[in-house]
Amino acid sequence: MDVLAEVIHLLRTQGRLYGRLEFTAPWGFTFPGDKGICLMVTRGACCLGVDQQALVPLVGGDFVFLPAPHRYSLRSSPEIAVRSVLDVSSPAAFQQTRVITAGGGGMPTSVIAGCFTFATPESEWLVKDLPPILQVSASAAHAPPWFQSTLQFIATELGQDLPGAAVIVDRLAEVLFVQALRTHIHAPYPERNPSWLRGLADPHIAAALRLMHAEPGRAWTVPALARKVSMSRSAFAARFRALVGDTPLAHLTQWRMVRAASMLCAQYPVTLGTIASAVGYASESAFGKVFRRVFGVSPAKYRQEHQRDMRQTG
């Protein structure tokens, strides 16, 4: 089982809006935060600021994913003062034209901006371990050869406004997002905080994660997992916690609840008893107690709220 593929499946990303930012130097703007911001620089260069993080230089060929910024900024150079983008374009205007043009007439920079929405609340758990800025550059040594051409393809689709362009851009942006996750998994140790993503870069811990994710209903124990990945119990438990940030069984519990939440939201109803059994609980009451602790509501309430949200958005 490919753990990253399973996680991407549960994230179920969907693009909400994509548009072009066409700026000429000097320029600098702040943008309201949201969940799942993605930025693609197709021409020129600029500096990105996210909340209290240091400015990050961006150049043509860069893809950036911001999981949940309170606000972010883009500017032609570090010393440029910024103002709200709402001064030059309203949300309604951007929704209609899909382009914002501004600046002082100097060197041009083109950025494609968009949002990923995540279909279910359990996605919050899956993205919580991502850094504030997830960046991949087409010029980096680890970037695949198709990365730059994919960015240009997206720019062409948006520029020509062809039928079906929104669907194509959405799918291609998701491909770039997966590549960004891959890059993050293999980032050097000093740049990483403990997370399940970091665990995927370690052969032994990745094998344990695959086992737990593939069979969440199995009565896993730390000794059993350690044997499966050819490690001693103590060494496995210590390494798992150091890389993932949780104990193996704590991670298993979280994953079980994520899978259960996904089943609760399935198009075809599944009984609570079936879900409880599928994720390793002998009774609905035992399952419900853990689910409520993780998500703050009962499984039945969670299902009702999801169905209500689907009716409202449908």
Q: Contact 51/70 with Cβ under 8 angstroms?
A: yes
As given in the structure block, the two tokens for residue 305 are: 């709220």
* 26 cis-preceded (ω within 30 degrees of 0): yes
Domains of the chain: residue spans and CATH:
3-186 (2.60.120.280), 196-313 (1.10.10.60)
Identity of the amino acid at 89: S
Max intra-chain CA distance, the chain:
67
pLDDT, tens digit, 9 for 90 and up, residues 176-209: 888 888 887 777 654 557 888 888 889 999 999 9
The pLDDT tens digits along the chain (314 residues) read 577 776 766 665 666 668 899 999 999 999 998 878 999 999 999 999 999 899 999 999 999 999 889 999 999 999 999 999 999 998 888 888 889 999 999 999 999 998 877 656 566 666 777 788 888 887 777 778 888 889 889 888 888 877 888 788 888 888 888 888 888 777 765 455 788 888 888 999 999 999 999 899 999 999 999 999 999 999 999 999 999 999 999 999 999 998 898 899 887 778 999 999 999 999 999 999 999 999 899 999 999 887 777 666 55
